[in-house]
Amino acid sequence: MKREDTWQLTSYYKKHTCSKATKIGIMSSKWLSKAFMKKIYENPKMKLRTLIRKAHSKWNVDLTKTKAAIVKQRALDEINGTYAEQYRRIHDYATDLLKLNPGSTVQIQVERPPEFQLEIPIPGKDMRPRFERIYICLDAYKRSFMVCRPMIGLDGCFIKTLYGGQLLTAIG
């Protein structure tokens, strides 16, 4: 067996005395998010502690709270799509809304960077328009609003997502 790496077992101990490692670097957040995809799909509001406990009971590994949050967010992004992907599809949503509810009104307002008017694109500058607001008035609400009493109330709430915002509703 020249020019070959060989090895020979000289002693064998049946009883294993090494402690098991509970922090394994090979379990990346990408792999873990795929492993937990079904559980997170079934319960998107799963707490991070539950995720950490499940990883410990299934694979005997310790997840940090940060890694568990990354795993959960990756799985949710895979299930629902990222916020950026959803904002890119807002015009599709408006088109479908108008198709299914004829007579409705949908207005989307975007903010364009000042450099957008220039003929020559600037390298490294994001020239895509950014979503600013959307106005939706369904035809049924529009018609029923016409027969309402003259008093109008305004109701609002704050949106608690990555981008935040405020949702305002006119009530008659």
Are residues 95 and 61 both part of a single domain?
no
Are residues 132 and 66 both part of a single domain?
no
pLDDT tens digits for range 101-157 = 999 999 999 988 776 666 676 677 777 788 899 999 999 988 887 887 676 788 899
Residue 33 maps to a domain: yes
Residue 3 maps to a domain: no
Q: Is the dihedral of CA 24, 29, 35, 41 positive or negative?
A: positive
Question: Which token pair is 136?
Answer: 């939706």
pLDDT at 25: 66
Count of structural domains, the chain = 2
Host domain of residue 101? 90-118+127-171
pLDDT at 70: 95
Residue 109 and residue 132 in contact, taking contact as beta carbons nearer than 8 Å: yes
